[in-house]
Structure 1
Amino acid sequence: MSALAMSAIPTEGFTPPGPGDFNLPPVGYTSETAPTFEFLGQTMYLGVTKPMLQLALSVVVIFAFFYYASRKRAMVPGKLQFVGESAYGFVRNGLGRDIIGSHDFMRFVPYLVALFFFILVNNYFGLIPGLQFPTFSRAGMAYALAALSWVVYNAVGIRKHGFAGYFKLQTVPGGVKGPVLALLVPLEFFSNILVRPVTLALRLFANMFAGHMLLILFALGGEYLLLHTSGFTPVAGVLSFVMFMMVCVLEMLVMALQAYVFVLLTSMYISGALADEH
């Protein structure tokens, strides 16, 4: 862009979005008036924040949906029952039975169904007017959920194989012997035990964070170009809003995909924990 074009766009009045936009103060406070405390050298807010309320709201929404979908069960399902059964069957069969196996999958179905719709609803909060914040764009939320899955699949493996047997299966590749194990065992331990929950959470968090950052950028940038600039720059504001709508459509797909991938990987990790040999 030429220097002349750059000079036509005043930037001193526009504050670009950044990571600070995701650090929401407690409900009822501003960032200046909110109570804080120090943790690991960082200033943290003290109180109930919007993402916390969204977690609770998602539980109510999911419970209400499946309650009303199953309340008047019939051999010939109505529309709501059909949607509920289809949603349940999608997770039960596609992410439970097909991945974990028909022998063991049913005891994990409640967790997988709850996990899938919990992530899905909290992701779609980012597109709902009035909420407009994907809960798992906060790293702590995503890592807590990944830690829960980590506990589940490791506990399952230890329960079946015993502590020593499980960690042997996870760290010693089948059919491999000799000095090469000195290299492979630490790598397998690092990959299968330590890295999995980190990558599981990071994938969800990073996609929600980046997608919401783009939405903020196009929405605020378009508003600023339309209302606070002159000349040809308002045209760029219109294009920015067009991009905002296109990113919204893309985000709808990404949000559903991230819920699917998170539960898919959890199912794969449970399946691997139950397997007799890797």
Structure 2
Amino acid sequence: MMLVVLAAVLVFAFSYFAARPAAVVPGRLQYAGEAVYGFVRNGIARDAIGSEKFMKFVPFLFSLFLFIAVNNYFGLIPVVQYPPMAHFGFPLALALLVWILYIGVGIGKHGFGGYLKHVTIPSGVKGPVLIIIIPLEFLSNILVRPATLSLRLFANMFAGHLLLMLFAFGAEYLLFESQSLINGFAGILSAVMFGAVTVLELLIMFLQAYVFTLLAATYLGESLADEH
């Protein structure tokens, strides 16, 4: 919980100090802030939501992306070395927040009954097949999304954390607490694998923040669309 609070403070501080100068020729911090903001604004929000309605959601998506990324990268910081998103409660809370937002946006756009029709009846589908389609669409779009959104982030962070622990402690034990020569070679291999997994995690931690934010934007875009 302390790491989650720290992540929120870091995101706020970075955003505040990156935006505060607002110089024509940006410094390093402002340039970094503009780069992240531009990435979320143009690469996620506008593409997923649409050029007419995306701007009001950019602050939320920008904060969401940075918050998840910072929490993920805590898993690679020595001593700390634990990503909060590997604790299921945190990605679930974020997924529920996204769920409330896109359902609220959809109801605001289409009305309660109109939104239910929007998410359960695909455009052009008619007849008896709707008996099957409507429950499946309701299950998929309303009930399952928070679970899949949170599980994807949680599972990747948890699995990566376990792999890092496995290779790190394996290398320490095999190299320093085992007297066998074969175990020594296995310890070296474990240390190499720890380095390789660490490099891989650098990419995965970014990708998971990106995918979570992209899916959130996609769900918002679907709620605002005229047709399912």
Do both share a fold (TM > 0.5)?
A: yes
Aligned to 2:210: 260
Q: Which runs of 5+ in 1 are unaligned?
A: 1-51
Of 65, 74, 84, 2:23 maps to 74
Q: Does 1:202 align with 2:159?
A: no
Give the gaps of 5 or more residues in structure 2: none
Query: Counterpart in 2 of 1:228?
Result: 177
Offset at 1:71?
2.1
The amino acid of 1:61's aligned partner reads: L
The answer to whether 1:240 aligns with 2:174 is no
AA of the residue aligned to 2:218: M
Aligned partner of 2:225 in structure 1 is 275
Equivalent residue in structure 2 for 1:94, among 23, 43, 47? 43
AA aligned opposite 2:60: Y
Deviating 4+ runs (over 6 angstroms): none
Counterpart position of 1:83:
32
Structure 2: how far apart are the matches of 1:213 and 1:222? 14
Alpha-carbon distance, 1:277 to partner: 0.6
The residue identity in structure 1 corresponding to 2:65 is F
Q: Equivalent residue for 1:157?
A: 106
CA positional deviation for 1:231:
2.3
Displacement of 1:64: 1.4
**Matches of 2:223 and 2:47, distance apart in 1:** 16
Corresponding residue of 1:214? 163
Q: State the distance in 1 between where 2:79 and 2:217 align.
A: 34
SS at match of 2:123: coil
TM-score, length of structure 2 as denominator length: 0.98
Aligned residues: 227
For residues 209 and 244 of structure 1, what CA distance do their matches in structure 2 show? 15
2: distance between equivalents of 1:75 and 1:108? 25
How far 1:196 moved relative to its partner?
0.8
Offset, 1:60: 1.1
**SS in structure 2 of the partner of residue 73 of structure 1:** coil
Deviations 1:238-271 (A, max 9, x none): 1101100100000010000000000000000000
Q: Quote how far apart the aligned CAs of 1:72 are.
A: 1.7
Amino acid aligned to 1:273? S
Shift of 1:206: 0.1
1:107 CA displacement? 0.9
Q: Quick one: which amino acid aligns to residue 209 of structure 1?
A: F
1:5 is aligned to none
C-alpha separation in 2, matches of 1:70 and 1:178: 54
Distance 1:66 1:212 in 2: 28
Q: Does 1:147 align with 2:100?
A: no
> Structure 1 counterpart of 2:170, which letter?
G
Q: Secondary structure at the match of 1:103?
A: coil
Amino acid at match of 1:183: I
Matches of 1:190 and 1:70, distance apart in 2: 42
Once the 2 structures are TM-superposed, how far is the Cα of residue 80 of structure 1 from its aligned partner? Answer: 1.5
Aligned with 1:123: secondary structure?
A: helix
Q: Could you say which residue in structure 2 is the equivalent of 1:26?
A: none
Could you tell me how far 1:73 is from its partner in structure 2? 1.8
CA distance in 1, matches of 2:14, 2:111: 39
Q: Which has the higher contact order (CA 8 A, sep 6+)?
A: 2
- Whichever residue aligns with residue 47 of structure 2, its letter is D
Equivalent residue for 1:62? Answer: 11
C-alpha displacement of 1:228 = 1.5
Greater Cα shift, 91-100 or 111-120: 91-100
In percent, how many aligned pairs have the same letter? 60
Letter in 2 for 1:274: L
TM value normalised by structure 1: 0.80
For residues 188 and 21 of structure 2, the distance between their equivalents in structure 1, rounded to whole angstroms, comes to 48
**Deviation by residue 1:121-150 (Cα, 9 ceiling, x = unmatched):** 000000011210001000111111100000
